[in-house]
Amino acid sequence: MTITKKLLTSAIASAMFVGAAQAEISDNTVKIGYLADMSGTYRDLAGPNGQTALEMAIADFGGTVNGAKIEVVSADDRNSPDSASSTARRWVENENVDLIAGLVASSVTIAVSNILEENDKLGIVSGSAASSITNEHCTPNHIHYVYDTYPLANGTASAVVKEGGKSWFILTADYAFGHALEGDVTRVVEENGGEVMQAVRHPFPTSDFSSFILQAQSSGADVVALANAGADTTNAITTAGEFGLTQSGQTLAALLLFLTDVHALGAQSAQGIQLTTGWYWDMNDETRAWSDRFMEKTGVRPTMVHAGIYSSTMQYLNAVKATGSDAAQTVRKQMMDTPINDMFAKNGFIREDGRMVHDMYLAQVKTPEESKSEWDLYDIVRTIPGDEAYRPLSESKCKLVTQN
């Protein structure tokens, strides 16, 4: 009789807990908005396949959380802060969206994060690069998950300077991401005894890089660095090849190059390029197994952004489950309190400024002879520990840090 009463009491308590948890999930629905460039310059690195990664996470999680359904809406931000802001405001103010995921162009992310803060909703940034997103543009309502310009500079720029590239010409995409990357690279080059001779900014996006590459050649700089991404980077690399830039003795440094970019260029054109990445599909059995599943759905291998979207979605849903709430601050705190150990990162953690800290990797593109298959493109040269890769909090301008 006593055991039966205990079991009954336990069952009632469990039911009350679940009921209370459900009551704290707004509308009994966890609604996620996926906002990204679905058709333009950054389509391949995130785009529709990023939504596939998000939906894989939801399916693997079980499709519901504490009995509440999980719903996804999506939109093409067209790399426009105005368009993205309009969508984000409608989602959070009228359509009960709890989380905005994806977020690729840094200018889009900065605009959307302000709306998230105004409405106390949460955003997880997987595609944007500007380190300012968790520095001067930090908010208590977003998390920057996959990478940023600080480790890109610490990895690629530092390696190239140490290999003898002392004088630099930087070709920069003229918006928040490019500006941040140019600044971070300039800092690293100068700290390592090098000099930035010239920095030239190009419109975003740009299809014709002829005049910019000619400027780079005439500068006489040891290194021509590309502070851009996506189609801008591949177009610039192709143009540099056509003009024989590397044959004239200059080094071409792609500061942000994605797996899809290298695949599009081909190993013949991209061989030898050094780059910094937050993840690579062929690192171990765990990354390969997930990548095989992703490729079955999409026909391509995942970028670090695709993998980061999957990982961050799982971390978010686990936090909702653990807290029984989809309230932004409750979920963010739980995510900060929970170490990240999955196929994307080991011993990762989220700091108070919203930066997810994890190891980064310096990679080199294989030669055609070294590549054993279509997507066998990188050699991992070295690991950059997370606490070395990202801006230390002692240098932070984030209001969440400086107020403490």
pLDDT at 367 over 50: yes
Q: What is the DSSP letter of 167?
A: E
Sign of CA dihedral 54, 56, 62, 64: positive
pLDDT, greater one: 336 or 17: 336
Q: For 148-157, what is each residue's pLDDT tens digit?
A: 999 999 899 9
C-beta of residue 304 within 8 angstroms of C-beta of residue 146: yes
- Per-residue pLDDT for 5 more than 80? no
d(C-alpha 365, C-alpha 377), whole Å: 6
> Which tokens go with 270?
């991209």
Architecture of domain 26-147+284-358 in this structure: 3-Layer(aba) Sandwich (3.40)
Distance in angstroms (rounded) separating the CA atoms of residues 170 and 356:
28
pLDDT of residue 24: 86
Residue 167: count of CB within 10 angstroms of its CB:
16
- State whether residue 165 is helix, strand or coil: coil
**Residue partners of 258: CB distance under 8 A and separation at least 6:** 44, 45, 229, 230, 303, 304, 305
Q: Where are the alpha helices (DSSP H) in 220-351?
A: 231-242, 259-265, 267-270, 285-298, 304-323, 328-337
Predicted local distance difference test score (pLDDT) of residue 8: 38
| More confident position, 18 or 73 | 73
3-state secondary structure of 325: coil
Best CA proximity match to 200, nearest among 237, 173, 234, 236: 173
Of the chain, the end-to-end C-alpha distance in Å amounts to 55
Residue 306's pLDDT band (cuts 50, 70, 90): very high
- Percentage of the chain with pLDDT > 90? 86
Residues paired with 379 in a beta bridge:
364
Average pLDDT along the chain = 92
* The predicted structure's pLDDT at residue 17: 40
Residues in a beta bridge with 32:
72, 99
Q: Is the pLDDT of residue 16 over 60?
A: no
What pLDDT score was predicted for residue 284?
97
Name the residue type at position 149: T
What is the pTM for the complete model shown?
Answer: 0.90
Crossing angle of helices 210-219 and 231-242, rounded to 10°: 60
Rounded Cα gap, residues 176 and 288, in angstroms: 34
pLDDT computed for residue 403 by the predictor:
53
Q: Token digits for 140?
A: 């208590």
For the segment 152-177, the average pLDDT, to the nearest whole number, is 93
Q: Is residue 83 pLDDT above 70, yes or no?
A: yes
Tokens standing for 5?
């009463």
Domain(s) of CATH 3.40.50.2300: residues in the chain: 26-147+284-358, 150-277+360-389
Residue 369 CB neighbours (<10 A) = 8
Handedness of CA 137, 139, 141, 146 (dihedral sign): positive
Q: Is the pLDDT of residue 22 over 70?
A: no
- What DSSP string describes 58-104? HHHHTSEETTEEEEEEEEE-TT-HHHHHHHHHHHHHHS---EEEE--
Residue 4: pLDDT above 80? no
Cα 219 to Cα 90: distance, rounded to the nearest angstrom: 48
Instruction: Name the 3-class secondary structure at 302.
Output: coil
- Partners of 69 in the beta sheet? 29, 64
User: What pLDDT sits at residue 271?
Assistant: 87
Cβ neighbours of residue 140 under 8 Å, at least 6 residues apart?
117, 329, 332, 354, 400
How many CB atoms sit inside 10 A of residue 376's CB?
A: 14
247 pLDDT tier (thresholds 50, 70, 90): confident
Q: Which CATH class is domain 150-277+360-389?
A: alpha beta
Give the per-residue pLDDT at 30.
98
Query: Collapsing DSSP states into helix, strand and coil, what is residue 257?
Result: coil
pLDDT classification of 345: cutoffs 50, 70, 90: very high
pLDDT-derived band at 210 (thresholds 50, 70, 90) equals very high
